[in-house]
Structure 1
Amino acid sequence: MATYELNPVLVTAQRSVTKDMETPAAIEVLHADDLQKTGATSVQEALKFSTGIITHGQGPRNISQGTMTSKAVIRGVEKGTLVLVDGVPINQGGRYNLEDIPVESIDRVEVVRGGGAVLYGSEANGGVINIITKGKRANMVKAGFGNYGIQNYAASFQAGKLGFTAAYDHTGKIDHISAPTETTSKRSGAPRGLYYNIKRGEHANFNARYDFNDDLYVTHTYGRNSDHYVYKYTGIDNPANAGKEYKNVIHSTEENLTALHYTKNNFSANAFYNRRDQETKNASAKINTKKPENFDPSPSSISHDKTSYLDQTIGINFQNRWDFHKGSFMLGYEFQRDMQDKTINKGTSVTGKFYDRNVHSLFGQVAYDFTQATQANLNFRQTWTEADDAGNKYDKFTPEFVLMHHFDENTMVYGKVGQSFMLPTFTQLYGGGNIHGVPGLKPEKGIHYELGAKKSIGKNAYRVALYSYKIEDFIDANTKKWPDITYQNSDVKNTGIEIDWTRNQNENLSYRLGLTYSHPQKQEGKIDKHGVETKGEWHDYYGKLGFNAGIDYTRGKLTTAFNISYLGDRIRDDEPYASMKSQVFSDLNFSYKANENARFFLNIDNLFNRHDIISSSTSSFYNLGRNFMAGVEYKF
């Protein structure tokens, strides 16, 4: 998806603005035009055509199930993607809800592949997605409609120093979004043979920015999603209940992120507050403990319960860079106070839990020029926490060494080795809903290696990266008793190659190709009959072979864009680790610019009408069949 030009792309992968050709990392930059050409309504949808990213969903159009949200997995590290919005981290409890961020509010998205925990902190074991929102907004309204009850609306306005963007997306009723469950839940007593339907999915977002001056601005983002799932029964063990509703579940999330941003010369600082209110309401049929398939779905037997989570993060970060004759020195500090308030309502019974944790980080970079062509970076981070409710206290120093050489202004190579570190979340430690916490979980510790080369020749840009990593004590979801989930420490490793080629034929035609091959593996811990924990065998998971391609063509007022991605040699991350059908995403987008103000569009998603599994673990969730959205955008 990235567009490489003779004028170098500027990125912030090194916590400072640098040119792509001067950045020792595998990067992809999606500008607003690139996002529009994917036909995506959210960042999550747009990233499915990116090199080195596997998108993982809990339903079509990235509908989420409360704590089980969609993921953008970079280089096979499932929970190792750190998401920043204007430099502020939005990960809470391991979740980042990219499906709630509309493309209309975005200036560009920077994807940095590879462990970035040294410069950016915990949760960046796989990579970093940095979303930069728009400064000045166009005065615009947009509306689109499609099959499956799809509706999408957006508007943006600029009035002096204040700009804002609002968006709303709706998905209608969709049946059989998952395969039936194969086992009876030991925790809840739910029978096997339950599958999911969707009654509706809604996503709303509002983003505002006020510029006090050229150096200081404030942003606020409000997001809300609400998804109504219905669990229906196949009748596998009791035909009399076939097609009956076992449970109705409404998952809703509200998020508010307020941040103050300041940049002056080589100094930058952010202060932020992030609040996420999450609620799950259940209406369940009466359970038959002896014969789960004989559940009673009559209205008089329905029981109700509700689980609520309130996640809050208060934080600051600041850094300064000092230049000297042969390089520069950067030093920064980051503080986050993470809080979670969990409430469970079952009938007249109400229980509550509150957890909090203070996380401190001191980070820096020494950049040194051996010659005009050869440079080295020494990056470092010291992370420490104050004790949480279970007495967990963490302290870790993580370094990274980078060496790069420029043969000329259009050719560079680099190599780097670094460590990573990731803290367990409150949900992993203390549980919630169908998740059983493990207070003694260890933090993740990894080591990452990468060799890369970048070359631009005329209209062509080539990028190659070889990487290898091993992460010990990887925090892994154990779904053997699905839908009950526990967490355990495992080990993961991966070795792979990524190749990107882009050609800008002229101002009307460009095309791109990405290839990846990797071998992600996992070694899970096992407990024998004597209670002794041992290491199991290494097994494959996710997919080995990836391919993505796209072409953009403009003729007159019409722009046509086609994007496709393929993930093959897939392995289910659940015993017996069976192979899975390959996954193919495709999209065809037409945009007709009638005049300077009006644009008409038609987007066709899943062009080949494939029925693919978009999850990788125990449950099988499916993508949406061929769907379209047509609409108009008007600027004034």
Structure 2
Amino acid sequence: MKRKAKQGNFGKNILMTMLITGTVFAGSASALAAEKDVESYTLDSIVVTAQRYATEELDTPAAVEVFTQEQLVATGGTNLQEALKFGTGLIYHAQGPRGTSQGTMTSKIVIRGVEKGTLVLIDGVPLNQSGRYNLDDIPVETVERVEIIRGGGSVLYGSEATGGVINIITKGKRTNSVRTAFGNYGMQSHAFNTQAGKLGISYSYDKTGAVDNISDPSGGRPEGMYYNIIRGEHNTANLRYDFNDAMYLSYTYGENNAHYVYRYSKQQDANGKDIDYKNAIHTTKNNNAQLHYDKDDWKAVLSYVRREQETRSKTATKKSGNYIPGVTTSDSKGYDDKSLGMDIQKKWELGKNIGLLGFNFQRDTCDYKEVDKTNMAQNRDYERNMYSFYGQYNYELNKLSNLIVSARETWTGSTTAGQNYNKFTPEIEYIHKLDDDTSAYAKAGQSFMMPTFSQIYGSGNIIGNATLEPQHGNHFEIGLKKNTNTHMWRLAVFNYKINDSIESKWKDNYTEVEYTNEDIKNTGIELTCAIDMGQGWKANWGASYSNPKKLVTINDAGTITEGSWRNYYGKLQLNGGLNYNKGKWSGAINANYLGERTRDNDAQASMKPQLFTDLNIVYKPTKNEKVYLNLENIFDRRDIVSTSTSTFYNLGRNVMVGYEFNF
């Protein structure tokens, strides 16, 4: 079946967006570029790839934020899920501390309030599979920089970029180094990097030990159940071989294991302790292979991405309303997601103008396997081909102004049970240089996201919904960027409405989930500034305010009227950082506050504000040595890091001490 997006007043809104461009004074998030020293910013020109080819950030009509590897390390995060939580307009969403995943319940970085709308790319290759991307599996050791592009990016990058794009650029040549670190809560973090001619090798290991009561029993399923971590481990190995300046091959293998014990607070054992309701081990194995070619304005990549996820659990047997301690039933279930992809693009320099054409193919398969409590095996296989043609034309109106028109046509084929879709997404952008250091822009475009296999066909406790529409939205943004010798000012004002957003709902028994289409919308403003204060001091701050809402499609037990808009996520976000780098000492302190939060459930209860803090101090006794101390959650807050009915908490105040040696 073919489905078409609702066009609405898209054309009229494009014109309105263009007319009000001049009312904006400064745009986008602080863009931070690479330096050799740790934890420092530079206010020099930044080159980004938001347009699918290199442009200066000041000349890019989008809200872009760039984190270098050094800046990611300075946040104290050992994986990208943790390191990106201090970004402007980014909401950290997790089912426990340090981004540890629980099988299919994985952590997310929510951009501008769109939960299912973050497209994660590794060197331009989509990482998303079955709606998951596992940023907690990516160590900062393997990353050169991360570009965050806020706002709908489906026209150039494809499905799932309805909130924005996280583009991860991995390291080319490695610095020979070894690092080790230990902390409380049983934390460990170790890494090794080496370069042998054309071959670069990186390996990292990260562990979190036992942490009890990471969730609130009142939101458990069944009510009274809460989560405890026994251990969480991540292993990642990355290889890259450069054949020449135009071609390289990379391969990454990652494996994470998380052991959880779920306890039931409404029943105690003979020793007066809450009984063990479930004992579960979640294992995920990731394979990512890419062959890249980049020469003479041609770019091509062949990719193979595979994620194997398995959950093995033992659940207490229930009799006469009570669980019987020690009497359990076993089950296992998991996914084997595979994506084979190809992307080819060509750029043309047409005098003062630039043209771009590209083709993308991706074949997705998913093998779902389950052995239930009665030892009955269920195996289901799904498949889908996705094709896209995309293009862009950057036309110079005059020496100060450019008009950029982009479009993508995407369709699916060979889909299980014939659920095929067809989407056309256009975008128009305008950028004007007020002077060499100031630019204003306006943009209007559309985005889309295809339903996943489990959402359409069901799996585990998910009931399939074959009538799901693709998620599609209209996006509008205006902004202006201003650089001075010591400041980078960015302001963005945005509005979007996403029709048929794919949202999950508990069934009446609260044990099964079904996905439905609901509309969401948001209007907001983001202001950021990066400052060079001299004498080794740098600073950055950001403020954003928005009003994300979701349209209720059914009457939820009389608590919310059908057809009304309800609040969704948080509204006010304040973030900032202070950095020092001089001589043998360097350090960084970062904070991110999220307030005016609302639960995404029927009760619509307000939530306490969230405040993330981190202090990182580095001392270099010699040129090749580095000793560091990282203190996270300085005020020892017990913050809620989820927004759904279940309440999950972050890790308490924690300290990690490490040593690094370069050779």
Q: TM-score w.r.t. structure 1 length? A: 0.95
- Shift in CA distance, 99/182, structure 1 to aligned 2, threshold 3 Å: closer
| Correspondence for 1:581 | 608
Deviation readout 1:352-381 (Å, 9 max, x if unpaired):
000000000000001100101000100100
* CA deviation vs aligned residue, 1:192-240 (integer Å, no higher than 9, x gap): 2111111000011111100000000000011111111111111269999
Q: Secondary structure at the match of 2:591?
A: strand
Please state if 1:174 is matched with 2:205: no
Q: In structure 2, the residue corresponding to 1:44 is in which secondary structure?
A: helix
The percent identity for this pair of structures is 49
Deviations 1:310-346 (A, max 9, x none): 0000000010011112411100000000000011113
Which of 244, 250, 253 aligns to 1:222? It is 253
Residues 1:312 and 2:341 are matched in the alignment = no
* Residues 472-501 of structure 1: per-residue CA shift (max 9 Å, x gap): 000001136545322110000000000010
In structure 1, distance between residues paired with 2:362 and 2:223: 42
Equivalence for 1:522 = 550
Q: Report the counterpart of residue 33 of structure 1 in structure 2.
A: 70
Question: Given that residues 583 and 613 in structure 1 are in contact (C-alpha distance below 8 angstroms), is that contact kept between their aligned partners in structure 2?
Answer: yes
1:524 CA drift (Å) = 2.7
Residue in structure 1 matched with residue 324 of structure 2 by the alignment: 296
What amino acid is aligned across from residue 123 of structure 1 in structure 2? E
| Counterparts in 2 of 1:285 and 1:276: CA distance versus 1, 3 Å | same
Provide the rounded CA distance (Å) in 2 between the counterparts of 1:560 and 1:360.
Answer: 47
Q: What residue number does 1:188 align with?
A: none
- The amino acid that maps onto 1:373 is L
Alignment of 1:192 with 2:209, yes or no, is no
Indicate the residue corresponding to 1:469 in structure 2: 496
- Partner of residue 150, structure 1: 187
Corresponding letter in the other structure for 1:29: V
The aligned runs of 1:427-466 (5 Å cut-off) are 427-466=454-493
Secondary structure of the residue aligned to 2:133 is coil
1:258 has 2:289 as partner = yes
CA distance in 1, matches of 2:268, 2:181: 43
- Residue 527 of structure 1 deviates from its aligned partner by 7.0
Which of residues 566, 587, 590 is equivalent to 2:593? Answer: 566
Are residue 3 (structure 1) and residue 32 (structure 2) matched? yes
Secondary structure of 2:72's aligned partner = helix
Q: Which moved more, 1:25-34 or 1:518-527?
A: 518-527
- CA–CA separation in structure 2 for the residues paired with 1:400 and 1:2: 23
Instruction: Report how far residue 555 of structure 1 moved.
Output: 3.8
Relative to structure 1, the CA distance from residue 462 to residue 560 in structure 2 (aligned partners, 3 Å threshold; closer, same or farther) is same
Q: How many residues align?
A: 621
Match of 2:371 in 1: 345
C-alpha distance 608-211 of structure 1, shift in aligned 2 (>3 A): same
Shift of the 60–155 alpha-carbon distance from structure 1 to 2, 3 Å rule, reads: same
Indicate the residue corresponding to 1:105 in structure 2.
142
Q: Which residue does 2:125 correspond to in 1?
A: 88
Is the 1:233–1:241 contact (alpha carbons within 8 Å) kept by the matching residues of 2?
Answer: no
| 2:167 is the alignment partner of 1:122 | no
| 8 Å contact kept, 1:170–1:202 | yes
Structure 1 segment 145-544 matched on structure 2, within 5 A: 145-182=182-219, 191-235=222-266, 242-288=273-319, 291=321, 294-298=322-326, 301-346=327-372, 347-479=374-506, 481-506=509-534, 508-526=536-554, 535-544=562-571
- 1:223-264 deviation per Cα after TM superposition (whole angstroms, max 9, x unaligned): 111111111111269999751101101111000000000000
**Aligned-partner Cα distance in 2 for 1:204–1:436:** 33
5+ residue gaps, structure 2, are 1-29, 34-41
Conservation of the 8 A alpha-carbon contact between 1:475 and 1:488: yes
- Partner SS for 2:211: coil
Task: Give yes or no for contact 1:94–1:425 (8 Å, CA) kept in 2.
Answer: yes
- Quote the offset at 1:6 in angstroms: 4.6
Q: Indicate if the aligned counterparts of 2:225 and 2:265 stay in contact, CA closer than 8 A.
A: yes
Judge conservation of contact 1:165–1:206 (CA < 8 Å) in 2.
Answer: yes
Preserved CA contact (<8 Å) 1:112 1:129: yes
1:21 is paired with a residue whose SS is helix
Which amino acid letter does the alignment assign opposite residue 591 of structure 1? V
CA distance, structure 2, for counterparts of residue 238 and residue 213 of structure 1:
65
Instruction: Please state whether the residue corresponding to 2:554 is helix, strand or coil.
Output: strand
Q: 1:42 aligns with which of 49, 64, 79?
A: 79
Deviations 1:566-618 (A, max 9, x none): 00000000011110000000000011111111100000000110000000011
| Cα distance between partner residues in 1 of 2:318 and 2:267 | 17
Change (3 A) 1:303 1:528: closer
Q: Normalized against structure 2, the TM-score is what?
A: 0.91
Label 1:130 to 1:507 Cα distance change in 2 as closer, same or farther (>3 A). farther
Please say if residues 32 and 43 of structure 2, whose CA atoms lie closer than 8 Å, have aligned partners that are also in contact. Answer: no
Aligned: 1:596 with 2:627: no
- Counterpart among 72, 91, 106 of residue 69 in structure 1: 106
Are 2:654 and 1:627 equivalent residues in the alignment?
yes
Q: Is the 8 A contact 1:235 1:241 kept in 2?
A: no
Correspondent of 1:52 among 85, 89, 92:
89
Structure 1: how far apart are the matches of 2:267 and 2:49?
54
Query: How far apart in 2 are the matches of 1:273 and 1:555?
Result: 43
CA distance in structure 2 between the partners assigned to 1:350 and 1:509 by the alignment:
61
Residues 338-347 or 481-490, more deviating: 481-490
> CA, structure 1 residues 56+34, in 2 after alignment: closer, same or farther (shift >3 Å)?
same
Which aligned runs of 4 or more in structure 1 are off by greater than 3 angstroms?
236-242, 479-483
Letter in 2 for 1:577: Q
Contact 2:268–2:275 (CA under 8 A) maintained in structure 1: no
Q: 2:59 aligns with which of 18, 22, 30?
A: 22
Displacement after TM superposition at 1:181 (Å)? 4.1
Q: CA separation in 2, counterparts of 1:238 and 1:149? A: 27
Task: Give how far 1:409 is off.
Answer: 1.5
Amino acid at match of 1:360: Y
Residue type matched to 1:598 in 2?
Answer: E
Deviation, structure 1 residue 428: 1.1
Q: Which moved more, 1:346-355 or 1:232-241?
A: 232-241
Amino acid at match of 1:101: I
| Farther off after superposition, 323-332 or 304-313 | 323-332
CA distance in structure 2 between the aligned counterparts of 1:495 and 1:116, rounded to whole angstroms:
17
Q: Tell me, yes or no, if the aligned pair for 2:331 and 2:375 is still in contact at 8 Å.
A: no
Q: CA deviation at 1:3?
A: 2.6
Preserved CA contact (<8 Å) 1:233 1:242: no
SS at match of 1:427: helix
8 Å CA contact 1:479–1:618 kept in 2: the answer is no
2:177 counterpart of 1:140: yes
Q: Which amino acid aligns with 2:540?
A: R
1:400 partner letter: E
RMSD value, Cα: 1.7
Task: Read off the aligned partner of 2:479 and give its amino acid letter.
Answer: G
